[in-house]
Structure 1
Amino acid sequence: MDHFLYRNGALHAEDVPVADIAAAVGTPFYVYSTATLTRHFKLFDDALDGMDHLVCFAMKSASNQAIIKVLADAGAGMDVVSVGEYLRAKAAGVPGDKIVFSGVGKTADEMRTALDGGIRQFNIESEPEMIVLDQVAQSLGVRAPITVRVNPDVDAKTHAKIATGKSENKFGIPISRARDVYAMAGKLPGLKVIGIDVHIGSQLTELAPFEAAYSKVAELTEQLRADGHDITRLDLGGGLGIPYTRSNEAPPLPTDYGNLIKRTVGHLGCEIEIEPGRLISGNAGIMVTKVIYVKSGEDRDFLILDAAMNDLIRPAMYEAWHDIVPVIEPAPGTEPAKYDVVGPVCESGDTFAKSREMSPVGADDLVAFRSAGAYGAVMSSEYNSRPLIPEVLVDKDQFAVIRARPTYQEMIARDTLPPWLG
């Protein structure tokens, strides 16, 4: 469920007409719903009711400080994968003891920043990383809390580019070597082993891969405890998918996911962490864009928008589907038209949809890309010297720009000429 609905023939973001936002900030832009963000966080939080737990929002899906603040105020922790995300979380007021640091390539400087500023735990991905963290922690006179990310070799049955739990993926330590790696960690004086981490991928639409992975984690927990390790926390990652099209069968609900967690690892008495991103932010945001032209081609019509692949790269990168709807609701019985929906960037890959049946629209009409709140704005770029587009947050009947569109002058002024070209 989201809070982007038609009222009196016009698409609204909560209680704000989307066309009013477009008139105020120009197109294209992203707009997020506070009510949807908090509702989706609460679904996960409630799903783990009765267990000691923390829901950590995966900031890589949407890292605007306003979004972070909304979720932190609701009780969320944060899962970060870079020192930039860590500093964003801190700037938004998230305490260090609610920030989990993931990622395969943490540097010594990143580790030092997190240890200085406070951190809940590091999710360690390799033995070399473990050694560096031990050295950094000892240099600061502290012990770094860690989990080790194990790779359970489970097929998440998702897109190859977002699968992370198979043996050929770059993530984690093979679960077959986990006991040896934990034995090594236990001997390093700058580290404190507190738990196990696992994450098998993103946009999972069935529970079976989770069950296979978590069952392996439960078995490993018992083995590590028998080896003398004090395993008190299980970080089970994220990855639960969302319905990108309303005609598809819906993925499992957070309540079903929570019941699975209780069934597979609930008997271990561990604190549970989960790191959802897409399911919290995905349907909480839309991208709104304007039709520049409708062009007739040899065998098809092209809907040319003022948004492009640099603004929303998921279709070009993942062949991803987003429902595309007009901001003005079509009249009942309107026959659909078929378009290739494209942007103005000089790439054939700048295509959002091919042969898409949708309500007919014309030049200057506004359309919205649904389910664009996750991996939309955070993956955008200034390719073709196109400024980053605004982000807007709505709360009931009010809205505010939470990232402004830079001017062309501001964008160009970030370049500097070397002295010999002056």
Structure 2
Amino acid sequence: MDHFQYKNGELYAEDVALTKLAEEVGTPFYVYSRATLERHYNVFADAVKELDSTICFAVKANSNIAVIKTLADLGAGADVVSVGELKRALKAGVPANKVVFSGVGKSRSDLEYAVKAGIRQINVESEEELVVLSDVATKLGARMPIVLRVNPNVDAKTHEKISTGKSDNKFGIDWTRAVEVYQRASNMSGVDPKGLACHIGSQLVDLEPFRAAFRRMKEMVGELRSLGLDVTRVDLGGGLGIPYEEDETPLPVEYGKLVVEELGDLGVEFEFEPGRMIAGNAGLLVSEVLYVKQAPTKTFAVIDAAMNDLMRPSLYSAYHAIVPVFEPETDEKVTYDVVGPICETGDTFAKDRKLPKLASADLVAFRTAGAYGATMSNTYNSRALIPEVMVSGDQYAVVRKRVDIEELLDLESLADWQS
């Protein structure tokens, strides 16, 4: 469920008309619904309420500080994968003791910043990282809480570019070596091993890969404890899929039951890192039709949003429902390729998509654009970074302004010999 609905024939974000935002902010823009973010967080929290747990929003899904603040006010922590995301989380009001730092390529300076910040834990992804972290923490006079991220070699059956739990993926420590590495960590001066973590991929629409990963995690916890080693935390990552089309996806309550069924007797504190599940359906991308172009074999709807604004269709061949901002008066449909203005054939949002008849100046909205939309945007073709808007009831605020070409040019300079 989301809070983007037609009212009197016009699409609204909660109680704010999208046409009002288009007039006052300009297209294209992202818009987020506070009520939807809150609802999705609470649904997930309720699904795991039987467990002692910390829910850490995956900042990579949507890194806007207004989004993070909305969730932090509900009690959410943050899962970050860079110092930049860590700084965002802290600025948004996430307590340091609710931040976990994941990621396969943390530099020495990244680790030093995280240790000094006093975050909850670092999810260590390799033996090499473990050695560097222990050295960094020892020199700072600290003993950093860690969990080892395990690669359980489980096929999540998702898109190859967002699969993270197979042995040929770059993430985590192979499960066959995790116990040995944990033993090594327990003898290091700069780290305090707390447990294990796993994250097998994103947009999972089947619970069985989760079950396989959970069982492997449970086996390793048992083995570690049999060796006299403490295990007090298990981080289960995120990855729960959401419906981009009309397909059915597991409900959070079903996921929560699975965790209780497979791991509920471990006597540990759990950490969860949902991102897409919370933010995905809480956002739209709104764009204006520039032209309807008739080619010999295609009809193109050329819009003012482009692949640099929403990368998922060009990067993953991902589907987003596209709807008119004004509710159609008839059931007439036309088959379009919906494309942007960038000089790449890959700048295509939809092929052979049946949509209500479109014309120049019409507004369209891309649904389920709240995750991996603005956070992946870029300035290819020297295009502006587009605004992000947050709606709460009948109020709205621009929570990231449009970053135009003049501001981008100010970041550059001529070489000394060119001036």
TM-score, normalized by the shorter chain, greater than 0.5: yes
Shift of 1:360: 1.0
Q: Which residue of structure 2 lines up, in the alignment, with residue 319 of structure 1?
A: 317
Partners of 2:374 and 2:229 lie apart in 1 by 41
Q: Which residue of structure 1 lines up, in the alignment, with residue 196 of structure 2?
A: 196
Shift of 1:80: 0.1
User: What is the TM-score of this pair, normalised by structure 2?
Assistant: 0.99
Shift of 1:51: 1.4
Q: Which residue of structure 2 lines up, in the alignment, with residue 369 of structure 1?
A: 366
Partners of 1:16 and 1:49 lie apart in 2 by 33
Q: Which residue of structure 2 lines up, in the alignment, with residue 268 of structure 1?
A: 266
Q: CA contact under 8 A between 2:4 and 2:13: conserved in structure 1?
A: yes
Q: Which residue of structure 2 lines up, in the alignment, with residue 137 of structure 1?
A: 137
Q: Which residue of structure 2 lines up, in the alignment, with residue 234 of structure 1?
A: 234
Q: Which residue of structure 2 lines up, in the alignment, with residue 65 of structure 1?
A: 65
Amino acid at match of 1:408: I
Amino acid at match of 1:339: Y
- Give the RMSD, CA atoms, in angstroms: 0.7
The alignment partner of 1:132 has SS state of: helix
Partners of 1:73 and 1:313 lie apart in 2 by 30
Per-residue deviation, residues 303-329 of structure 1 (Å, max 9, x unmatched): 000000000010000000000000000
Shift of 1:227: 1.2
Partners of 1:398 and 1:118 lie apart in 2 by 36
Q: CA contact under 8 A between 2:385 and 2:404: conserved in structure 1?
A: no
Shift of 1:115: 1.1
1:329 aligned to which of 327, 330, 335: 327
The alignment partner of 2:189 has SS state of: coil
Per-residue deviation, residues 66-95 of structure 1 (Å, max 9, x unmatched): 000000001101000000000111111111
Aligned residues: 419
Q: Name stretches of at least 5 consecutive residues in structure 1 with no aligned partner.
A: none
Deviates more, 1:46-55 or 1:363-372: 46-55
Q: Which residue of structure 1 lines up, in the alignment, with residue 347 of structure 2?
A: 350
Shift of 1:50: 2.1
2:402 aligned to which of 400, 405, 411: 405
Q: Are residue 308 (structure 1) and residue 301 (structure 2) matched? A: no
Pairing of 1:138-217 with structure 2 (within 5 A): 138-217=138-217
Q: Are residue 381 (structure 1) and residue 378 (structure 2) matched? A: yes
Q: CA contact under 8 A between 2:383 and 2:404: conserved in structure 1?
A: no
Partners of 1:317 and 1:151 lie apart in 2 by 25
1:252 aligned to which of 247, 250, 253: 250
Q: CA contact under 8 A between 1:193 and 1:229: conserved in structure 2?
A: no
Q: CA contact under 8 A between 1:95 and 1:118: conserved in structure 2?
A: no
Shift of 1:414: 1.2
Amino acid at match of 2:256: G
Partners of 2:412 and 2:93 lie apart in 1 by 32
Amino acid at match of 2:290: I
Shift of 1:120: 0.4
The alignment partner of 2:106 has SS state of: coil
Shift of 1:290: 0.1
Per-residue deviation, residues 107-163 of structure 1 (Å, max 9, x unmatched): 111111111111100100000000000000000001010000111111101000000
Amino acid at match of 2:391: V
The alignment partner of 2:24 has SS state of: helix
Q: Name stretches of at least 5 consecutive residues in structure 2 with no aligned partner.
A: none
Partners of 2:167 and 2:225 lie apart in 1 by 25
Shift of 1:407: 2.9
The alignment partner of 2:320 has SS state of: coil
Shift of 1:64: 0.5
Amino acid at match of 2:27: T
Shift of 1:20: 0.4
Partners of 1:256 and 1:162 lie apart in 2 by 22
Partners of 2:81 and 2:404 lie apart in 1 by 29
Partners of 1:270 and 1:143 lie apart in 2 by 21
Shift of 1:27: 0.2
Shift of 1:344: 0.3
Moved over 4 A (4+): none
Partners of 1:177 and 1:411 lie apart in 2 by 46
Partners of 1:274 and 1:407 lie apart in 2 by 37
Shift of 1:218: 0.8
The alignment partner of 1:294 has SS state of: strand
Partners of 2:407 and 2:202 lie apart in 1 by 35
Per-residue deviation, residues 202-254 of structure 1 (Å, max 9, x unmatched): 00001000000001101111110111211001000000001001x22x21000
Partners of 1:407 and 1:210 lie apart in 2 by 43
Q: Which residue of structure 1 lines up, in the alignment, with residue 296 of structure 2?
A: 298
> What is the percentage of aligned positions where both structures have the same residue?
56
